Amino acid sequence: MASLDHSSTSDYSASNYNQTAAFVYSAEYTTPILSLLKTSIGERIVDFGCGTGELTLQIQEAVGASGLTVGIDYNNDMISKALMNGVKHAYMSDLQDIQILAPVLENSFDAVFSNAALHWCKQNPRGVLDGAKRLLKVGGRFVCEMGGFMNCIGVRIGLHRAVKRRGYEPDKMDPWYFPTIEEYQGLLQSAGFRVDTISLVPRLTPLLDGGLRGWLQLFARQTFLKEFSDQEVAAIIDEVVDMCEVDMKDKEGNWSLMYVRLRFLATLDA
């Protein structure tokens, strides 16, 4: 995860994130994007939005001692946990304006990888691509999965309506960037990448710990709803949960959220 807004995703607790959003790192959901990366021994790979390092560690193991894996995230708690978990190289930086890697590392990486992070880069999505381009060798791979068009459908409109009813402009408060295929493909091409494959992948995601209420507390409290008091947030969450219950809660009381992932492989052209 990563964000230019220093008061949003940077406030996440690593333990809360891993408890409520454990699905982010689950083998079921990460195998497709890791398979697309096709890591080889000795490669040099950067993980954009490494979080607590679960996938970074898998990449680190795959490239072996002769390779190099570097994790980058804007949340200091996440970086600390990633280092504790065994990631050898992890640094805090905004993905939209990466400043922490030495110039000698520019144009030296075989791949940039990212999972569940770039939809937080709303203010400057092109900056992410410029950073990837700066780090990659010519012919290097950019492999990513992020929130795409129609991600979190239902919940997002619920938040927009609740915020608008209280006199705020939801478009300005919405922290998420969920692009269409055409939009992001154009962005990649304008940054000098050849798009090898890109798709939108619907994924019904069970919310096992805390249901929708827990999801909103984790992902919206310090981002979308950061301007509101705790009392106001509680009322907004009640409102959104009530609005979404008919579509997102089954007869056994289990909540699920419709995720739509934008997944792509792009190559840096000469």
pLDDT of 11: 53
Residues with Cβ within 8 Å of residue 102, at least 6 apart in sequence: none
Q: Can you give the pLDDT at residue 110? A: 99
Instruction: Look at residue 257 in the predicted model and tell me its pLDDT.
Output: 97
Q: How many angstroms separate the CA atoms of 56 and 68, rounded? A: 11
pLDDT surpassing 60 at residue 13: no
Average pLDDT over residues 59-88: 97
- Residue 92 binned pLDDT confidence (cut-offs 50, 70, 90): very high
User: Once rounded to an integer, what is the mean pLDDT over residues 21-36?
Assistant: 81
Average pLDDT over residues 10-28: 57
User: How distant, in Å, are the alpha carbons of 36, 90, 120, 149, 245 from that of 177?
Assistant: 23, 25, 6, 9, 24
How far, in Å, CA of 185 to CA of 181, rounded? Answer: 6
pLDDT level of residue 65 (50, 70, 90 thresholds): very high
- By mean pLDDT, which of 63-72, 102-111, 230-239 is the weakest? 102-111
One DSSP character per residue, 102-153 reads -GGGTT-EEEEEEES-GGG--S-HHHHHHHHHHHEEEEEEEEEEEE-TTTTT
83 falls in which pLDDT band (50, 70, 90)? Answer: very high
Would you state the pLDDT for residue 12? Answer: 52
For residue 8, pLDDT over 80 is answered with: no
Domains in the chain: boundaries: 9-151+175-206+257-268
C-alpha neighbours within 13 Å on the C-beta side of residue 252? 4
Q: Taking residues 179-202, report their average pLDDT.
A: 99
Asked if the model's pLDDT at residue 53 lies above 50, the reply is yes
> Is domain 9-151+175-206+257-268 in CATH 3.40.50.150, yes or no?
yes
Q: What is the average per-residue pLDDT within 226-241?
A: 98
What are 178's two structure tokens?
């969920």
Residue 17: pLDDT over 60: no
How does pLDDT run across 123-165, given as a tens digit for each residue?
A: 999 999 999 999 999 999 999 999 999 999 999 999 999 999 9
Query: Is residue 4 scored above 50 in pLDDT?
Result: no
Question: What pLDDT does residue 7 have?
Answer: 38
